[in-house]
């Protein structure tokens, strides 16, 4: 839980780079939505974060609820 809050704080501190939402806090799953034009910047942020917290890309969970209708 502490790591989720930390990751959210870091991502939000770079205003407009990406949007993050927590999918399942018990499993530590988040979704990050990144505009294509910000991918390089976000990749740098992610590399820095990986040295501080465990991050692993996963496939969409079965119980995923899309924000896009």
Tell me: the pLDDT tens digits for 3-53?
Answer: 888 888 898 899 889 988 888 888 888 888 899 999 999 999 999 999 999
pTM comes to 0.73
Rounded Cα distance between 67 and 51, Å, is 30
* pLDDT of the residue at 5: 86
pLDDT at 57: 86
**pLDDT for 43:** 93
Judged against a pLDDT cut of 80, whether residue 62 lies above it is answered with no
Q: Strand runs (DSSP E) across 1-69, as ranges?
A: 19-24, 29-33
With contact defined as beta carbons under 8 Å apart, do 24 and 32 qualify? Answer: no
């Amino acid at each position: 839980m502490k790591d989720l809050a930390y990751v959210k704080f870091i991502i939000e501190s770079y205003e407009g780079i990406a949007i993050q939402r927590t999918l399942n806090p018990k499993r530590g799953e988040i979704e990050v939505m990144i505009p294509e034009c910000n991918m390089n910047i976000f990749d740098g942020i992610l590399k820095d974060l990986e040295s501080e917290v465990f991050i692993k890309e996963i496939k969409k969970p079965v119980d995923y609820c899309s924000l896009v209708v």
